[in-house]
Structure 1
Amino acid sequence: MTGKHLSSERGYRRMVRPREGEVRFQVGVEQTDLLVVAELDLRDEIAAFVSTVRGEIKNWILFHPEFAESLVPVAVPDGAPEVVRAMAAAAESCGVGPMAAVAGAVAQAVGDKFAARSPNILVENGGDTYLRSTRERVVALLADPGSGASLGLRIEAGAFPVALCASSGTIGHSLSLGSGDLVAVRARDARLADAAATALGNLLGSERDMDRVLKRARELAPHGLDGVFAQYDAKVAAWGDLELVALD
Structure 2
Amino acid sequence: MHFEEIDIDQTHIRLKSDLDNVNLKGYILKIRSELKRYISLNRDFLLSLEPLKYNGENLPDIVLKMYESSTKADVGPMACVAGTISQMSLDYLIENGSDFSIVENGGDIALINNRNVLCGIYSNNEVLGNNIAFNIKARKHPLGICTSSGKIGHSISFGTSDSVSVISKSPSLADGLATRIANEVKGKDSESKVSNALETAENYKEYFNGVLIISDNNIGTVGKLPKIIESKDFDVKL
1:69 paired with 2:69, answer no
Shift of 1:180: 1.0
Which residue in 2 is equivalent to 1:241?
A: 224
Q: Which amino acid aligns with 2:229?
A: V
Are 2:125 and 2:162, in contact at CA under 8 Å, matched by a contact in 1? Answer: no
TM-score normalised over the length of structure 1:
0.86
Q: Which runs of 5+ in 1 are unaligned?
A: 1-21
> Once the 2 structures are TM-superposed, how far is the Cα of residue 40 of structure 1 from its aligned partner?
3.0
Shift of 1:152: 1.1
Alignment gaps of 5+ in structure 2: 233-238
Question: SS state of the match for residue 24, structure 2?
Answer: helix
TM superposition shift of 1:238: 1.4
Checking the alignment, whether the CA contact within 8 Å between 2:90 and 2:103 is kept in structure 1 is yes
Measured after TM superposition, the shift of residue 145 of structure 1 is 8.5
Rounded Cα–Cα distance in structure 2 between residues aligned with 1:32 and 1:231: 26
- 1:205-216 paired onto structure 2 within 5 Å: 205-206=186-187, 207=190, 208-216=192-200
1:187-227 residue CA offsets vs partner (Å, 9 max, x unmatched): 010111000000011001242121221222222122x2111
Give me the whole-angstrom Cα distance separating, in 1, the residues matched to 2:135 and 2:222: 15
> CA distance change for structure 1 residues 148 and 235 in 2, over 3 Å: closer, same or farther?
closer
| Residue 230 in structure 1 maps to residue 209 in structure 2 | no
2-structure distance, mates of 1:183, 1:52? 30
> What is the RMSD of the two structures over their aligned residues, measured on CA atoms?
1.8
Q: Which amino acid aligns with 1:172?
A: G
SS in 2 for 1:238: strand
Q: Secondary structure at the match of 1:122?
A: strand
TM-score of the aligned structures, taking structure 2 as reference length = 0.89
User: Where does 1:3-82 land on structure 2 (aligned, <5 Å)?
Assistant: 22-42=1-21, 45-79=23-57, 80-82=59-61
Q: CA-to-partner distance for each residue in 1:20-70, whole Å, 9 max, x for gaps?
A: xx2221011222110000013357x11110011101111111111100000
Counterpart of 1:191 in structure 2: which amino acid? S
Alignment counterpart, residue 64 of structure 2, candidates 85, 89, 98: 85
Over the matched positions of the two proteins, sequence identity in percent amounts to: 28
Residue 157 (structure 1) aligned with residue 138 (structure 2): yes
Partner of 2:203, secondary structure, is: helix
**Any conservation in 1 of the 2:14–2:105 contact (CA below 8 Å)?**
yes
**Aligned AA for 2:10?**
Q
Q: Look up the match of 2:235.
A: none
CA shift at 1:148, angstroms?
A: 5.6
Matched letter for residue 161 of structure 1: P
